[in-house]
Structure 1
């Protein structure tokens, strides 16, 4: 026989009745770059004796500001709610992960136990999940009840990383929100495996994710293990008749399901009939149902209405039933359905009407439409993620250990000679071509690059040239010294043009820490680049840039090629202060 824990009950009751206090900077449109910029938020956090919530929605945080706020959070183990949506507007994607990691580290140091974490509307993509991974795996999220990641551009890779982070210590989430993330089948399947372990979900919203019946089936299997599920939103995915079958199979285990949004999911009449039968057979006690814009014919719509109104309490229970955008038949047909549904029925915006009440345009009952079959076939054949954020996230590493030189006749005419020599070196960064630049190669390279007017192109050339020289540093002291000079001049050029974060992104690509948009392999020798970076990092690099580079190096270390990983481990300054 179970025992009654009076202490736990009393604690829970006190927490429920307690007036919640905290800090709210919603919608201030603050641009917080430095520690000084964040002083008002830091002061408010420090002055709050019981920081139950911290809301920073509608501002934009840089790394240094995030680190300052994180330091203030270290004194608040009582923090329960972090509402940090729309918090990185205008930031580079490479700037966000270290900022998220810093905030997470602050809460970890405090020993906080979050109940709500909202990071919606931050387009950080998969690399943002890496900034969250440590936090999600920590004790801070062991009691997490709501995780909101709506409109983050996660893609399949981000979904897999998120699933991996959650699976090590699956929290007992009640609410999971992840709409508009292009999760597709593979991402949905990865998350479904975690949902199955949770068993505690009450609300799931994953609209607009490009999920077809394969992913819907995986989710439906997971929902069977979450019997408390009451609200399910899969709007604007392609559930189709096959996905409807999977959902129908899960319904006997979902006795608490009250709200379903399958609008714009290409159910067709066949899928609608499958759901109607399942609703009726399982006496599903729905309160809200949205099946709008699903190409459902009149007869199938009628079956749905009959199924959800068969129980005598339906008039009081149903609050909203949306069938707009389907073929509901003529005026008499719609009037009959409206009478059954009462005030709950929303039947406007038909895609078409039948002039004959007995007309039935359920042509898809026996087979799926050609469009749906083609779409599902294409989806099954192409399971790789092509999302922009994923393309920026994946690693494309080519460790060049040797380089050769072609015989090229030099142009010996003044400046054209210098110009040709620099371009030749950038194309083929060998020691022989470096020697052609004379005794001060960094000066020659700088003179060549500074003639470029476009800031983005200038920074790209600075980084490419610096890494090309740095890659030779293990075999040449001259190259090593020139690389140090070029690191300093590259950072100065970025500072002069207020382009520190564009510089960061180019360095991360050049160091193979995020994927380059160029298809060609890297031309420089990465172990040499990292050796030069280790020498330059402590003195020449600003703190925010040091933190970002260390974060990405640490995150990628285990997946790097053996030679490069061993080289990095020889330089601990690249991993920590």
Structure 2
């Protein structure tokens, strides 16, 4: 898409592309010079597919001096077999001609030229000149810039922006293409500063640049400052889960996105969750989504499909090359059938779920080690702008663990340190909460027979406050002994004393406590169903249904997580209560219902025919 963006159909120009000519001298480019001299209007000059030497470039540059109307320099693949000393000199001659002419360039395409940092020396003056104040498209794909060349390019563009601003003609660069340049983290960070300054970009295409999550985090900050982004392509860089989380934070800032390409970026399943969560209620204009070859299992695939259900303009959804397996592919096709445009899902030609590479963890370690070595070589440390703690999250590769397999043996979780998967914005600091937790944990306890003790003495009473704020699942005796005729109202009175995340967390965990007992108590089941309803009423009201949905799916072992945590609740009993809640017509909304049903179906249907 990027390389076809400039339109020359309605313009006049000179074309000598793809003739495989070797232009060493002024005599060799006599035909080009004559064509430039004869034409009154030359809006573009297309020379790609030939090889240009310094004397020949000087002759062409002198001919360009006569064309102030010139707009588009289409000079990709123009320096094959040229010495690195020739390229900057040739570029200086071409640029000098346009500077003398006073041209107002809109497109500069130097893709597929081995520029490197040395070639950038031939562009620096030109890129800072008034000729480029009107530049709208910059194509530097496959130019071998490297970290140094990327930094030089960034500095030149920052100066261009400042110069244009001072001249009263603000730079409005719309398209930036710089794939296959080995920019690495250093170059990515430099370009991130440029993006943050420009604020006008509509397309950023930077595949295959050996950028890791630190560089991606910097780029993400730059992307946020460009609200008109339509195309975002970081294909074949190593985002990992950390980078995916940072990119997910970009989407609310870029509502006009039409195409995103993060294929082959190793975002893994948890990265897919980050993307799905961010995309579900935004990006209504999306047409193309490429997340192929990312080590995503079918739980992540299902979450992505769910996120696409309201994308009425979606034309392409590529999830090929992930780890879904035949059954998982079928589930994803089934889920996509509920979308408004199921035909957008591309076929599954490659599936890596059966490749179960015993060296997967070793490969991941190699990636991390390579990144560390690269950063050491660059002399970098993690930027405090993003917070060092942001990069310390634990990563664990589960291969192809399925929900069913995880459910079969709860002992698999016994040695996993318990983590709170639901992250709150604020800690529990409410006075009543602190006091009650102290009381609950210090004064009230149960013995091995489930008898309740308060202050060391037996008691039949268990308050709603103790039930809500206890740190572990409650027993049937504790539930039955709740001091309230209307248990639901009593529990809600406690929960309503808290706000924001505290309120939501208490809703969720009180629901799970009641669900924990739902198979053995009709009263607990009814209460769990009502609390499921109250939780999602609040989640919908505060626009957090995706967040809550994701958490419940993980708690109930319906959703794979690469950062597992141990659930203290009887997941089968909790699912039982959830199924009952789903049967109620007024429960949540269709999106929540359909997503829960989709994941529950995986437990009910073991062999789904594999069709595309």
Question: Which bin holds the TM-score, normalised by the shorter protein?
Answer: 0.5 to 0.7
Pair 1:169 & 2:160 matched: yes
Equivalence for 2:194? 194
Deviation at 1:258, TM superposition (A): 1.1
Task: Supply the distance in 1 between the matched residues of 2:299 and 2:366 (Cα, whole angstroms).
Answer: 22
Cα displacement (A) at 1:195: 1.1
- Asked whether 1:240 is paired with 2:240, we answer yes
TM-aligned CA deviation for residue 353 of structure 1: 4.6
The answer as to 2:28 corresponding to 1:61 is: no
Compute the displacement of 1:33 (Å): 0.7
Task: Look up the match of 2:325.
Answer: 329
Structure-2 change in CA distance of 1:131 and 1:292 (3 Å): same
For the Cα contact (< 8 Å) 2:257–2:283, is it kept in 1? no
Cα distance change on mapping 1:131 and 1:145 into 2, 3 Å: same
- Write out per-residue CA displacement over residues 223-254 of structure 1, whole angstroms, 9 at most, x where no aligned residue: 11100001011000001111111111121110
Residue 183 of structure 1 pairs with residue 207 of structure 2: no
Name the SS for the 1:382 alignment partner.
Answer: helix
User: Quick one: distance in 1 between partners of 2:333 and 2:255?
Assistant: 31
Deviation of 1:145 after TM superposition, in Å, equals 0.3
The answer to whether the aligner puts 1:215 opposite 2:222 as a matched pair is no
How many Å separate the matches in 1 of 2:201 and 2:282? 20
Structure 1 ranges of 4+ moved more than 4 A: none
CA drift at 1:29: 1.2
Deviation at 1:150, TM superposition (A): 0.5
CA contact (8 A) 2:284 2:313 kept: no
Q: 2:230 maps to which residue?
A: 230
Distance in 1 of aligned mates of 2:262 and 2:301: 14
- Superposition pairs of residues 440-519 of structure 1, within 5 angstroms: none
> How far apart are 1:371 and its partner, in Å?
4.5
Q: Distance in 2 between matches of 1:73 and 1:134?
A: 17
Structure 2 gaps of 5+ residues are 1-6, 162-170, 381-612
RMSD: 2.5
In structure 2, relative to structure 1, the CA distance for the partners of 1:25 and 1:384 (3 Å cut) is farther
| Cα 1:228/1:290, change in 2 over 3 Å | same
Q: Give the conservation status (yes or no) of the 8 Å contact 2:183–2:210.
A: yes
Tell me the residue number matched to 1:44: 35
Q: CA deviation at 1:335?
A: 3.2
Partners of 1:17 and 1:69 in 2: how far apart? 20
> Is residue 2:299 matched to residue 1:299?
yes
Alignment correspondent of 1:348: 348
Unpaired segments of 5 or more residues in structure 1?
Answer: 1-15, 356-362, 386-577
- Equivalent in the alignment of 1:87: 78
* Aligned position for 1:408: none
Preserved CA contact (<8 Å) 2:251 2:283 = no
Q: Deviations over 1:370-406 (max 9, x none)?
A: 4554344334333269xxxxxxxxxxxxxxxxxxxxx
Corresponding position of 1:204: 204
CA positional deviation for 1:155 = 0.3
**Structure 1 contact 42–69 (Cα < 8 Å) conserved:** yes
Match of 2:257 in 1: 257
Question: How far is the alpha carbon of 1:284 from its aligned partner?
Answer: 4.7
Q: Hey, what does 1:141 align to over in structure 2?
A: 132
Q: Distance in 2 between matches of 1:182 and 1:18?
A: 33
Q: Distance in 2 between matches of 1:304 and 1:119?
A: 37
The number of equivalent residue pairs is: 358
Kindly indicate whether residue 364 of structure 2 is the aligned counterpart of residue 374 of structure 1. Answer: no
Q: Residue by residue, what CA displacement relative to the aligned partner does 1:477-535 show, whole Å, maximum 9, x if unpaired?
A: xxxxxxxxxxxxxxxxxxxxxxxxxxxxxxxxxxxxxxxxxxxxxxxxxxxxxxxxxxx
| Residues in 2 aligned to 1:39 and 1:209: alpha-carbon distance in whole angstroms | 39
Q: Is the 8 A contact 2:212 2:243 kept in 1?
A: yes
